[in-house]
Amino acid sequence: MTFLIDQEAQTRIAKLIDSAVERVLGEVASHGNEEGMTTALGHSLMKHQIRESDLRVDFKYRQHNKYTEERYSGADGGFLVRVVTPNGTVEKAALFQAKLIGGLGDVRTLTMPRAEAKRLQGQSKDMLRHTDDAVAIFYTHKNIYVVDAKDYSGNATSKAPLSQEHRLITLGTYLGKWMPRCSKGDTDPDFVTRARHVDGFKHGLSLNVVSQRPSVPWEQDRAEKAWRHKG
């Protein structure tokens, strides 16, 4: 098995995402809620790109009408990733549900109302009916964190969705490193087509990578293995 793109490219893409996230979080008060945050994130990402002879990276964001697929899939939106290398082209997608978690201090101690936690539980179950590649993303004062949706799909609700029992990674790592390589994202053509056409949900965040660099041998990412849902 190989990476789709080399590790140096992964790191650079992750840094682009980190820069976009930093800008969005610096203006968190003006965005109001998670919907506003996701829109701001999409527009911020579109301002970041790489244009080199052997590597091109672009982000796109599409916001659709208010009649969303969320009532069917539980998702606010989808991540779409397309990677082109000398070895071929791979397209993949994942669903996400976004939550804004207010408060300062240690993110592990931040809480959400029980009703919202219950709603996330249902949304996670709905997303997982469509694909195993479903996540919750949390906007906090410190960073944007990604958690496996399976963490919230059990019988118990979690008012502290970022507590120690949940394994956190940043959006930069998930979208910038894990999805552009072999390890994350649903490659089922039917699912990718549905996600590409948005099929009703509101937010579409796309990453397009064109690399002239050869793929490199797979190396196990311990952080990714640990992130997988413990169940």
This prediction has a pTM of 0.88
Angle at 179 between CA 26 and CA 144, to 5 degrees: 20
The end-to-end CA distance of the chain, in Å, is: 25
Spatial separation of the C-alpha atoms in residues 31 and 23, rounded to whole Å = 12
Mind listing the pLDDT tens digit for each residue in 110-159?
999 999 999 999 999 999 999 999 999 999 999 999 999 999 998 878 88
For residue 204, the cross-strand partners are 62, 78
Local structure of 98: helix, strand or coil: strand
Which of the four pLDDT bands, split at 50, 70 and 90, describes residue 171?
very high
Mind listing the pLDDT tens digit for each residue in 14-42?
999 999 999 998 877 666 688 888 999 99
